[in-house]
Structure 1
Amino acid sequence: MTAVGFCGRWFLFSCDTKLVAVHTGQSRESFVFDCSSAEKKPKAPQADSSSDGGPSEEAGSDRVLAFAVSSSGKLVALTDDTKRLVLFQCEPVWRCISVRWVVRRCTSLVFSQAEDELLVADKSGDVYSFSVGEPQREGQLKIGHLSMLLAVTMSPDDKYIITADRDEKVRVSRHRYPYSIQSFCLGHQQFVSALQIPSGHPHWLLSGSGDGTVKLWEYESGRRLQSWDLAQLEETMCSQTVKEKQNPTVCRVSSSPDGRHVAVLCERVSAVQFFLLDEVDEKKLVPHSRLSLPHCALDISFDLEGRLWVLMDSSDAPLQINTLRGNSWQLDSEDPDLSRVTEALRPHWKTLHAARTDSRFEHLHKESYDNVTSYLQKKQQRLEEQQLKRAKTPKKKGSKRLKETSAAGAQP
């Protein structure tokens, strides 16, 4: 997974097996964590091996799958394809707190607001809870689902756990009693791939999906407030998306620190769609503008100052910083932070180039088949063939003679 984010003033960048942190405000040494050289999981005893003598679990590739940042910006966690769960402290200095192991490969992580718990959602549909205060403690099963989970988040008051799955559902569960479901947010036609509770709007939830829509919810009641089809707002898409004739898949929904602006990114699209959030206006989620990019974007993230950082699929200029000036988002190519971070990422450009824009969600799209229309067409064709056959078949003479004999015998 190639992704960007912010931990306070630290710019975070994950690509292949590495997590790189670069300070944007000071000339501090960058932090690099390579999962390929991290602690290995102890080998399971022979009794745990499969019956055919092979290993009980598939070996991983050490590729980073997801990372999360705590609300204070002091903690970071990542998980990789080898099923590691690594916890870091980034202030006052970077250090690895613990390396634990998850049961199955994970798709999303989130810290509680109190920063005492780390929730991990995996591909089998389970959510595990890991203690932050006891960094060596194993995870405990929190919630189970019947479908693959793609995103997890928590309400700002830590009251609800919100999960999104492959079966088009957003589920709101009580944190203290996770078996008690508060609500469902239903309406997407494909898997739900992104969740975001915008800053300053603790009762609202933004969701993005493989159906190419962004929806705004009042998640405690499950009430949908607004929905936008991004396909109607898009002007240019990458050639591969057009070739597949699919709706653009939302891969990231990010909100600015003041909660007024929302940026939406779709896979294989060289543009970012901006929205405005307004609690007063009847149309609470309103399209604002569209930012065209020179290359397909890999990920986006707002920093503490409200600037939007865009990571692109380009070895020459992988980063952009965009600032809101007046009523439009404009490229800020002279920003000193941009040159500092770009230079720090230069040694990792080769890894970035290898990651490219491979789709993370392509295999999740559900195909629909119209069997009824095909059945009706074949049925109509059979009826027409039968009628034509009957019209060409001559009547038998024996039947005509039998009718004439019957008629003669009936006369007095």
Structure 2
Amino acid sequence: MTAVDFCGQWLIFTCDTKLLAIHTKQSRESFVFDCSTAEKKPKNTKDDNNSDGSASEERGSDKVLAFTVSPSGKLVALTDDTKRLVLFRSEPSWQCISIRWVVRRCTSLMFSRAEDELLVTDKSGDVYSFSVVEPQREGELKMGHLSMLLALSMSPDDKYIITADRDEKIRVSHLRSPYNIQSFCLGHQQFVSALLVPPSHPHWLLSGSGDGTIKLWEYESGRKLQSWDLKELEETPNSEADKRKKPTVCRITSSPDGCHVAVQCERVSTVQFFSLDQEGEEKLVPHSRLSLPHYPQDMTFDPEGRLWVVMDSSDAPLQIYTHRRDSWECDTESPEMNRVTAAFKPHWETLEASTRTHNRLEHLYKVSFDNVTAYLQKKQQRLEEQQLKRMKAQKANDNKKAKKETSDAVTHSST
């Protein structure tokens, strides 16, 4: 998984099995953590005989599946395909604090605002809590869904935990007593793949889905405030197939001041920007679109409000965009971009093109089966076969009758 975020002035990348931290302002030594060379899982851990797969299931590929940065930017956590949960401290210097083990492969991570707790969601629908204060302590099960969890968020006051799953549900639960469900935000028609509580509007929630929509919620009550179909905001599609295909939202991120919300869709070379209006009738307003030279892999805003985009390109994998005069312009000569690209590019070039172009969310679409149509087709086929048999039987009877009449006629004439 290729992902990017900021930890203070450090730009964090995950690239295949590695996490890289590159300082954007100073010529400091980059930090690299490679999961393929990290501590292996002890054989005597409690979940060795866990029902989650066989022995082959335990041997993962070491690829990073998800990572997150704490609100203060002092902590970073990642999880990988071998079920590691790794906690880092970035100040005063980079340090790996602990390596723990999760029960199942994780899908998303998030620190609490108090930074004393790390919440982890997994593919079976469970949410675990890991202590940050006691970095060697095992995780505790907090709550569960009946479907794979795909996205996680929290209210800024640490009161609510917001989880989204493959079955189109967004659940708002009390963090300290997760069995107490505050509300559901229901309305998406496909899996919910992205969540964001905007920093400028702590009582609102933005959600993105495989149904190609962005929705705005008042999450405490579960009330939907607005919905935008991203297909309607696109330029004219190139083909009929493009017209029918729904864009899959894979990332929603906000500038630090909350003025700009950027939405990224999988395998779409544009970024859609929105603004949030507290007073207006339309609270979620499309602002502008940014066309990219290549498909974006991930994106994030830096502390100054510039948008950093990692793209599917060997020549120029990273670009910075600044908002000027109601449009987003590429900073081609940015010294920060040159410094970061020089440190990042060697790792990026080791990735195969097939790895970079992989659709991470495509397999989440559910295949629908029209049993009624199949039943009616079989019934029609059965009726036609029965009709054919009746016709053959009738024809055979007619032939027998004709032969008998001919035989009787011959007998009669001979007498």
Instruction: Work out whether the TM-score is over 0.5.
Output: yes
* In the alignment, structure 1 residue 59 sits paired with structure 2 residue 59: yes
% identity of equivalent residues = 74
- 1:387 Cα deviation after fit: 11
1:368/1:342 Cα in 2 relative to 1: closer, same or farther (>3 Å)? same
- 1:265: which partner in 2? 264
Once residues 176 and 47 of structure 1 are traced to their aligned partners in structure 2, the CA distance between those partners, rounded to angstroms, is 26
Asked if the contact 1:49–1:56 (Cα under 8 Å) also holds between the matched residues in 2, the reply is: no
The answer to whether 1:4 aligns with 2:4 is yes
Could you tell me how far apart the structure 2 residues matched to 1:238 and 1:108 are?
Answer: 34
The answer on 1:301 being equivalent to 2:300 is: yes
**1: CA distance between counterparts of 2:386 and 2:347?**
71
Query: Are 1:169 and 1:192, in contact at CA under 8 Å, matched by a contact in 2?
Result: yes
Matched, 1:346 2:340: no
Q: Which digits, 9 at most, give the CA deviation of each residue in 1:173-230, with x for residues without a partner? A: 0011110000000000000001111111110111111111111110000001111111
Residue pairs, 1:86-97, within 5 angstroms:
86-97=86-97
The match for 1:277 is 276
1 CA distance for matches of 2:143 and 2:184? 15
Q: Bigger CA drift: 373-382 or 154-163? A: 373-382
Give, in angstroms, the shift of residue 238 of structure 1: 9.6
CA contact (8 A) 1:238 1:268 kept: no
Q: Which moved more, 1:163-172 or 1:228-237?
A: 228-237
- Describe the shift of the 1:344–1:248 C-alpha distance in structure 2 as closer, same or farther (beyond 3 A): same
Could you list the per-position Cα deviations for residues 21-79 of structure 1 after superposition, in whole angstroms to 9, with x for gaps in the alignment? 1111111111100001111111238995699xx73843111100000000000000000
RMSD, aligned α-carbons: 2.9
Question: What one-letter code is carried by the residue in structure 1 that aligns with 2:175?
Answer: H
Supply the distance in 2 between the matched residues of 1:250 and 1:47 (Cα, whole angstroms): 34
Q: What are the Cα deviations for residues 71-116 of structure 1, in whole angstroms up to 9, with x where unaligned?
A: 0000000000010000000011110111111111000000000000
Equivalent residue for 2:407?
Answer: none
Gaps of 5+ in 1: 397-412
SS in 2 for 1:252: strand
- Residue number in structure 1 paired with 2:408: none
What does residue range 1-400 of structure 1 map to in structure 2 within 5 Å?
1-44=1-44, 55=55, 57-235=57-235, 242=241, 246-354=245-353, 355-372=355-372
Q: Distance in 1 between matches of 2:75 and 2:45?
A: 34
Q: 2:189 and 2:43 mapped to 1: Cα distance? A: 43
CA gap 1:236/1:101 in 2 versus in 1, 3 angstroms: farther
Distance (Å, rounded) in 2 between the aligned partners of 1:208 and 1:60: 29
Question: 1:89–1:249: structure 2 CA closer, same or farther, 3 Å change rule?
Answer: same
Look up the SS of the partner of 1:341 in the other structure: helix
What letter matches 2:73 in structure 1? G
What is the TM-score with the length of structure 2 in the denominator?
A: 0.87
Contact 2:214 2:229 (8 Å CA) reproduced: yes
Cα offset, 1:243, TM superposition: 7.1
Residue 311 of structure 1 aligns to a residue whose secondary structure is strand
Aligned length in residues: 392
Task: Give the 3-state SS of the residue equivalent to 2:348 in structure 1.
Answer: helix
AA aligned opposite 2:131: S
Distance 1:136 1:247, change over 3 A: same
Aligned-partner Cα distance in 2 for 1:286–1:158: 28
Determine the C-alpha separation between the residues in 2 that align with 1:3 and 1:242: 29
Q: 1:267 is matched by which residue type in structure 2?
A: E
SS at match of 2:343: helix
Q: Deviations over 1:216-252 (max 9, x none)?
A: 110000001111111122237799x947953111110
